[in-house]
Structure 1
Amino acid sequence: KKPTPEMLKNVDVLMFDIQDVGTRYYTYIYTMAYAMKAAKENGIPFMVLDRPNPQGGKHIEGPILEPEYASFVGLYPIPLKHGMTIGELALLFNKEFDIDADLTVVKMKHWKRKMDFDDTRLPFVLPSPNMPTVESTFVYPATGLIEGTNISEGRGTTKPFELIGAPFIKSTELEEALNSLNLPGVTFRAASFTPTFSKHQGTLCHGVQLYVTDREKFEAVKTGLSLIKTIHDLYP
């Protein structure tokens, strides 16, 4: 996770140029933090090429990480949906969490906080296999919470994090229960799928597909918690 002194031998500058998705438990931001620490320890300048937050920079949601639970899926006390760009996170980590690297952030041109990724008109190149679309990034702060359960979060399908389900769920029952909550900016459709890998691999699962109908109104963290509670209540 952290570059060794041997890896950094003869390195003049360490550059980070990776697309983040705007959610605390996406680990690329902690790879950056560890690399910044290694750069500091080895006297190497660190440069970050800033990139847009796909979810935009206006909406911040969810609790702050409690430091005693720090790990590679949550290293620093920031909100679950943090609203920052990768360059802003680098500046925050460096100053507030005492990394103190020789840091340069190359800023973006023309980016505004209100922009989501579609507004940039840039091509979305999937940053990892289970983050294939801009839509994936929007539902990730909600359905990423499912990963800690025995419910499939859609890994092994073409719609990871948009599809959630398990063999024991009744899809129409769950669809009706979730839609009756009238959660803002999202609707649910009954769906069945068979994951090709990960949880419930090769087994038919029943559940729902999330459709974000209004990105401005959508409350990802509230939706994720409502999803978990509803499944827990229906299928204890």
Structure 2
Amino acid sequence: MLLGSERLIASPRLDGLRVGILANPASVDHAFRHVVDQFAEAPAFKLAAIFGPQHGFRSDLQDNMIETPHGTDPRRGVPIFSLYSETREPTPEMLDLIDVLVIDLQDVGARIYTYIYTMANCLRAAGKAGIPVIVCDRPNPIGGIQVEGPMLEPGFESFVGLYPIPMRHGMTVAELAQMFNEQYWLGAALEIVPMEGWSREMYFDDTEIPWIIPSPNMPTLDTAIVYPGTVLFEGTMVSEGRGTTRPFELIGAPWLDGAALTARLNQAGLAGVHFREVVFEPTFQKHAKVPCGGCQIHVTSRWDFEPVKVGVAVMRECYGLGLDQFKWRDPPYEYEHDKMPIDILAGSTQLREQIEQQVPIEEIAASWRDGVKAFEETRKPYLLY
């Protein structure tokens, strides 16, 4: 197969232009060559500016809500503009340096992941400035068929959810670019460079593209598979495994009884998954240097596994086992100072209320289905594969 960036580089589309590129360390081709290196070496056009999303162009900043400064690429003398800084979108002064903006970012298939909103902000800013945008497509690492989870409701927009899409959206980054640009009137002169040879049933390890961590706490494809559900634990004081080698697969807290938790979960009839009792000690973030009881989520069948349902089931049982000790995380979260972080992540107050009321997991999952069905109709015109 060919990535969108590989197809763009092989074409004359950028010849004679001053090019800006939004990328990070995962923006590589099949041979591990980074798109910025290839642009810098291209004789037919000029690399004029580099833009970086959350965690920085080099993905060297570990935590959320840590802004990245602007800088200069020392080898090329090209400015590096942070779009997770005092600005979340390119300014007119930044865009004055370029004739076209290329976006080559690896998404992970979840509404919460901020790179797709950096892309949306670029589309809006470029539309105002009259700068065309070219989005190079990359695989959705967890496939393009399964769609799952609660929809974002009006009033709960944030940088971890700008538009009404479900937690697991089943779209590629270029498909999302088309949908955002048209559905939400971003106004960009948008060009898409699709992949060749990708199909919707593919997971990332079906593609022969090297896995480069797209963000510091997304080390493996296994992480991406569970992430659309267990990322919700960022809205609690239960550890989502940050500070371990298995973030988002390990869930626990100092007060949790891992044996009781895994027994309940393994008896719940959840498909494609097994829960193993663990004790782990995060090196940073929640409960750093404190042993946490809990579980590791082992996916036994990708096609049966429902990550959002499973993540919510784990949260529901954690709440039930620790009524006096389970706590929701307090604001601020992603610069939202009023709403509860769990509500921002879930996209409404409904999920938190369902967990507090201990609504059965099947009823919780059923409450998402109408929204998912409507979204599947909305996304149809924008599917490329």
TM-score, scaled relative to structure 2? 0.61
1:213 aligns with 2:319: no
For residue 174 of structure 1, what is the amino acid of its counterpart? L
Partner of 2:96: 9
2:140 to 53, 69, 79: 53
For residue 43 of structure 1, what is the amino acid of its counterpart? G
Alignment of 1:24-43 (within 5 A): 24-43=111-130
1:23 aligns with 2:104: no
Alignment of 1:22-101 (within 5 A): 22-101=109-188
3-state DSSP of counterpart to 1:6: helix
Partner Cα distance (1:93, 1:67) in 2? 16
3-state DSSP of counterpart to 1:68: coil
For residue 81 of structure 1, what is the amino acid of its counterpart? R
Structure 1 stretch displaced more, 173-182 or 83-92: 173-182
2:190 to 90, 103, 128: 103
1:155 aligns with 2:242: yes
2:225 to 138, 144, 154: 138
3-state DSSP of counterpart to 1:232: helix
Partner Cα distance (1:96, 1:203) in 2? 46
3-state DSSP of counterpart to 2:310: helix
Alignment of 1:116-135 (within 5 A): 116-135=203-222
3-state DSSP of counterpart to 1:37: helix
1:175 aligns with 2:262: yes
Offset from partner CA, 1:82-130 (integer Å, 9 cap, x none): 0000000000000011112000110001000111111112111110110
Partner Cα distance (1:151, 1:199) in 2? 7
For residue 78 of structure 1, what is the amino acid of its counterpart? I
Partner Cα distance (2:210, 2:97) in 1? 34
3-state DSSP of counterpart to 1:48: strand
For residue 305 of structure 2, what is the amino acid of its counterpart? F
Partner of 1:202: 289
Partner Cα distance (1:62, 1:207) in 2? 23
3-state DSSP of counterpart to 1:221: helix
Contact 2:277 2:296 in 1 (8 A): yes
3-state DSSP of counterpart to 2:92: coil
3-state DSSP of counterpart to 2:110: coil
Structure 1 residue 202 displacement after superposition: 1.4
Contact 2:226 2:248 in 1 (8 A): yes
Partner Cα distance (1:157, 1:189) in 2? 16
Partner of 2:317: 230
For residue 5 of structure 1, what is the amino acid of its counterpart? P
Structure 1 residue 31 displacement after superposition: 0.5
1:114 aligns with 2:214: no
Offset from partner CA, 1:13-39 (integer Å, 9 cap, x none): 111101000000010000000011111
For residue 96 of structure 2, what is the amino acid of its counterpart? K
Partner Cα distance (2:90, 2:261) in 1? 45
3-state DSSP of counterpart to 1:206: strand
Partner Cα distance (1:227, 1:173) in 2? 12
For residue 218 of structure 2, what is the amino acid of its counterpart? M
Partner Cα distance (1:138, 1:31) in 2? 22
Contact 2:217 2:247 in 1 (8 A): yes
For residue 53 of structure 1, what is the amino acid of its counterpart? N
Identical aligned residues as a percent:
54
RMSD, aligned CA: 0.8
Q: Which 4+ stretches in 1 moved above 4 angstroms?
A: none
Partner Cα distance (2:199, 2:225) in 1? 18
Partner Cα distance (1:121, 1:9) in 2? 38
Partner Cα distance (1:119, 1:97) in 2? 33
3-state DSSP of counterpart to 1:146: helix
* Runs of 5+ consecutive residues of structure 2 not aligned to the other structure: 1-87, 324-385
TM-score, scaled relative to structure 1? 0.98
Offset from partner CA, 1:181-229 (integer Å, 9 cap, x none): 1200111001111111111111111110000110000011111111111
3-state DSSP of counterpart to 2:274: strand
- The alignment of Structure 1 onto Structure 2 pairs a total of residues equal to 236
